Chain A
Amino acid sequence: MASYRLYNPVIFYHLILFFLFSISINYFIELKYVNLVCYVIFHITFVYLAFYYYNYLLFLTGFIYGIFFDLILINYITPHLLTFLSLLLIITLIKKNLINLNPNKISYIIFFFLFSSIFLEMIIASIIFNYYFNFYNFLTLIFIGLIFFIPIIYFFSKLDNL
């Protein structure tokens, strides 16, 4: 019982988020793909948290990470902040309808959210801040998402069952 109280996966997920955020915003020329991988896994972790460990405080988390991702990667606030908050809002609204779905279908939905969040960030940055929608970068991020999605979800499910 004591160990159950001590172990809280949410804390681990938040530590993972912070670690991934730190790597994503520090670009190392020699390890370009590590940055991109961390950026994608951050999104997967955030969507996963919103699905399985939803708490209203996640809005605050999304707000803080959104602001700093925007300020560090774009120098203006909007794309990440808006995407994270709208993502949380949509998940909160449709969560009741998803509760009866099997885990496989939920995984597809998580992937769909990952895809749309990255797309939304890039499209907002291109519309509002004149950053070209780099299709190659977008495909790279989606490809990384496809490769890492299943191992990450598997790892998270193991983390949940600890």
Chain B
Amino acid sequence: MAKIFHVKTLSSSKLFKNILVSFIFLLTFILIYFSKTDYFFINKLKTVSNTYIYSITKIVSIPMNFVSNMSIQIKEFRNLKNQNNILREEIMRLKKWQTLAIQNSSENKVLKKLLNATDNNLELIKTAAVIQRNDLLFAKIININAGIKDGLRNQMAAINHRGMVGRTINLSKDHSKILLITDPNSSISVKTVSNEIFALIKGSEDGVHLVSSFIKNEKMPKIGDLIVTSGSAQIFPSDLLVGKIVKLSKNKFYVLPFVDFNNIEYVQIVKSK
């Protein structure tokens, strides 16, 4: 009796499906492999996500934005009377300080002339508004409305009136991402104001504090010491305010940043002169 051979054949649609799914998996592994290295295609994808996806999704989330703004306004309106009293007291206090500041400023000028000292070492590149935030679940990243067109480059320092905010990453023509200093992958070199202790700090587990990842000579600072950028890594300008030491543990110290990351509306991109 002759054997019957069954030959399995794939229909063209099934073949297409299999090829597509295999291609997607292949592409996935290629993307994952190159994701941590700055290759051209990954950078392009990041630019697309920065520019186009943001613009499209912003349209969809307009109602949410509206509700969010409304709730902020209602809150502010409720606190109006309290804020008014606080501001009145602050004006009184500031007026006293103003007189003192004017005196000090003129003294400072004279002393600077005597010492032949230069002014601060910061050059303002651009003041930009925060247009999107993604600092809830994983990375601590914000998007700003300034990019290569405005003279921004990778790894520039972003500050606000309170101190260090983060650094620029993934720039596109009109938009950039700022990796906040509270991100666990953001490492910055810092020192105490007294120049005694040098360390590297990164974002801590709670997403609020910064924690030291390396301390030079294992010298521990004191609680209450002010932390500024050291400028030794040549990424950030030196002496930018970062925060205050609030907790010490075994071989580690915790810093509370001066910047209120829930209330960032504008940032200034600066570099060393």
- Residues of chain A touching chain B, judged by Cβ–Cβ distance below 8 Å, are 18-19, 21-23, 25-32, 34-36, 39, 56, 59-60, 63, 66-68, 70-79, 81-82, 85, 125, 129-132, 134, 137
Contact = CB atoms under 8 A, between A and B. Distances in A.
B57 A29 contact: no
Contacts of A63: 24, 27-28
Nearest to A66: B28
A27 B45 contact: no
Given A26-B133, A63-B28, A130-B185, 20 more contacts: A21-B57, A23-B61, A25-B57, A25-B132, A26-B61, A26-B64, A28-B64, A28-B65, A29-B68, A29-B262, A31-B68, A59-B20, A60-B24, A68-B53, A70-B35, A71-B46, A76-B35, A77-B32, A129-B185, A134-B207
B110 interface: no
A23 B64 contact: yes
Interface of B: 17, 20-21, 24-25, 27-28, 31-32, 35-36, 42, 45-46, 49, 53, 56-58, 60-61, 64-65, 67-68, 71-72, 75, 132-139, 141, 169-170, 177, 179, 184-185, 205, 207, 262
B196 to A, nearest CB: 29
18 contacts: A18-B60, A26-B64, A27-B134, A29-B68, A30-B72, A34-B64, A56-B21, A63-B24, A63-B27, A63-B28, A71-B49, A73-B134, A77-B45, A81-B32, A129-B138, A131-B138, A134-B207, A137-B137
A130 B184 contact: yes
Nearest to B169: A75
